[in-house]
Chains A and B, each alone.
Chain A
Amino acid sequence: MINAWWIIGGVLFVLLNTAAGLIWLERRMLALWQDRYGPNRAGPFGLFIVLADTLKLFFKEDWIPPFADKVVFVFAPAVVVASVLMSFVIVPFAPGIVVADLNIGILFFLAMSSLGVYSIVLGGWASNNKYALLGAMRGASQMISYEVFMGLALMGVVVLSGSFNLQQIVESQRTVWFVIPQLLGFLIFMVAGVAETHRLPFDIPEAESELVAGFHSEYSGMKFGMFFIGEYLGVTLISAMVVTLYFGGWLGPSFLPPVVWFAIKTFAFISLFILLRASMPRPRYDQLMEYGWKVLFPLSLLNLLVTAAIKLWLVTK
């Protein structure tokens, strides 16, 4: 067993660098799919753009609007980063490489990801700006709604593995990855995950073509940077969860160490997130809610019922 502090340090280091790296990665990938180069000037392959961006964010005027609720305004961006980082506590990167091997891992993940709503609502509210408030309201309802389907979709995996512990869930996929029996659940989880991280095409709380910049209209400098980092961490988290829950986590042929398999799979899903951004138009707000409640909700219930029934049948047989 490796020292837990080393794991925590390692996880934090890797995650924060990943989030920063995603800034560069996303721009390069988008450029690739749009027949451009993307950042290619600063450093090799334009990698230093991350550095430049961060420096820029640090040196921007750290402005708090005079009409804002100051305490909440400062507090909100911290919430998003903190809640996402907390979620990573239960993610098993490889056998034994996990910060806290909780037996209620999935519940902890759900609890933490719902906390993210607060940052959006509080940020939007504290900005005291109509666009920010509209964005926050949209964000709140979108995230709360999709939280439901996400949780329901997950239950299929829990039913199959019989555990809330993520290490055990990974272990129970040795025979078959849960994406096969839980294809529907996976799809619902994917969609809900995109909505949960309010990434394109579901970036309705920001919706720059309607709401300036949505809930973070009034944010600048590193406080905006926190929202920015929070979003990329969220993308990483959802990808990691998808891999853990449906694609066998660290499992893979033994010519590569398990943690590398985990990283490769996660990276693939991150790329998928970016591809989504590159190709999908943003739905209307009401369409999003309708799709959630009228399509995904019955489907996820159905998925759970069918999974539970089959499991029951298999157990009793």
Chain B
Amino acid sequence: MFSLLRSMWLVFLHMFHKRDTYQYPEQKAPLPARWRGRIALTRDPDGEERCVGCYLCAAACPVDCISLQATEDEHGRRYPEFFRINFSRCIFCGFCEEACPTYAIQLLPDFEMAEYNRQNLVYEKHDLLIPSQGKYPGYNYYKVAGLAIKNKDKGEAEHEEPPVDIKSLLP
């Protein structure tokens, strides 16, 4: 019984506490770097698209709001032919970012993307692609993967031996 009264008293005392609210439009809230907001497609250190169209983000998405089509350039480098996020469905869970094996898809600390027309919340690749490496500077997926692309032949990635000469008899 006393504890009830005490908690009522303590709650009552909050009347004299400072308020925690940010008066949002006039006063911006500081967002931490890992805040899960706007989704963007980043570029690798060479300025190329990081996304290789592996579909893992789409598969991880719990509301199925990502759809894309993978394609290849003439040198065998994969990239998305289109990449669409329906932000009217997105719940900003960040699973896509976690699933991405190339650090391409990243959630940035920005949430101001409200629209009066729902159709405007459908973002295509040119809306998503940013000229930045985002949170993971320096990473280049094709430097790790064994596929040959333009300006990187077989065996030129990290931890790769030069291609095997299969006609050699040496041990």
Return the contact of B21 from the options A36, A275, A276, A278 (Cβ within 8 A).
Answer: A36
Residues of A contacting B15 in the complex (Cβ-Cβ under 8 angstroms)? 32-33
User: Which residue of chain A has the shortest Cβ distance to B8 in the bound complex?
Assistant: A279
Chain B residues numbered 1-43 whose CB sits less than 8 Å from any CB in chain A: 4, 7-8, 10-12, 14-15, 17-21, 23
Alpha-carbon distance A278/B11, docked complex (angstroms): 7
Chain A residues numbered 30-80 whose CB sits less than 8 Å from any CB in chain B: 32-37
A35 lies within 8 A of B20 (CB): yes
- Minimal beta-carbon separation of A46 from chain B (angstroms): 12
Residues of B contacting A278 in the complex (Cβ-Cβ under 8 angstroms)? 11
Residues of B contacting A275 in the complex (Cβ-Cβ under 8 angstroms)? 8, 11-12
A280 lies within 8 A of B19 (CB): no
Known contacts A32-B14, A32-B15, A33-B14; is-contact A279 B20 (Cβ 8 Å): no
A276 lies within 8 A of B19 (CB): no
User: Which residue of chain A has the shortest Cβ distance to B17 in the bound complex?
Assistant: A35
Interface size class of B (residues with CB under 8 A): 10 to 19
Residues of B contacting A35 in the complex (Cβ-Cβ under 8 angstroms)? 14, 17-21
Chain B residues numbered 77-135 whose CB sits less than 8 Å from any CB in chain A: none
A279 lies within 8 A of B21 (CB): no
Alpha-carbon distance A36/B17, docked complex (angstroms): 10
Alpha-carbon distance A35/B11, docked complex (angstroms): 10
Alpha-carbon distance A80/B23, docked complex (angstroms): 38
Alpha-carbon distance A33/B15, docked complex (angstroms): 5
User: Which residue of chain A has the shortest Cβ distance to B14 in the bound complex?
Assistant: A33
Question: For the complex, would chain A's binding face be called helix, strand, loop or mixed by DSSP majority?
Answer: helix
Residues of B contacting A32 in the complex (Cβ-Cβ under 8 angstroms)? 14-15
Chain A residues numbered 245-291 whose CB sits less than 8 Å from any CB in chain B: 275-276, 278-280
A34 lies within 8 A of B14 (CB): yes
Residues of B contacting A276 in the complex (Cβ-Cβ under 8 angstroms)? 8
User: Which residue of chain B has the shortest Cβ distance to A29 in the bound complex?
Assistant: B15
Return the contact of A36 from the options B7, B12, B19 (Cβ within 8 A).
Answer: B19
Alpha-carbon distance A37/B20, docked complex (angstroms): 9
Alpha-carbon distance A15/B19, docked complex (angstroms): 31
Alpha-carbon distance A34/B15, docked complex (angstroms): 8
User: Which residue of chain B has the shortest Cβ distance to A30 in the bound complex?
Assistant: B11
Residues of B contacting A34 in the complex (Cβ-Cβ under 8 angstroms)? 14
- Minimal beta-carbon separation of A186 from chain B (angstroms): 15
A279 lies within 8 A of B19 (CB): no
What residues make up the interface of B, taking CB atoms closer than 8 Å to A? Answer: 4, 7-8, 10-12, 14-15, 17-21, 23
25 examples of A-B residue contacts, CB within 8 angstroms: A32-B15, A33-B11, A33-B12, A33-B15, A34-B14, A35-B17, A35-B18, A35-B20, A35-B21, A36-B19, A36-B20, A37-B19, A37-B21, A37-B23, A275-B8, A275-B12, A276-B8, A278-B11, A279-B7, A279-B8, A279-B11, A279-B12, A280-B4, A280-B7, A280-B8
If A36-B21, A276-B8 are given as contacts, then 18 extra A-B residue pairs at C-beta distance below 8 Å, sorted by A number, are A32-B14, A32-B15, A33-B12, A33-B15, A34-B14, A35-B14, A35-B17, A35-B18, A35-B19, A36-B19, A37-B19, A37-B21, A37-B23, A275-B8, A278-B11, A279-B7, A279-B11, A280-B7
What residues make up the interface of A, taking CB atoms closer than 8 Å to B? Answer: 32-37, 275-276, 278-280
Nearest first, the 9 A-B pairs at minimum CB distance are A279-B11, A279-B8, A33-B14, A35-B20, A279-B7, A37-B21, A33-B11, A35-B19, A278-B11
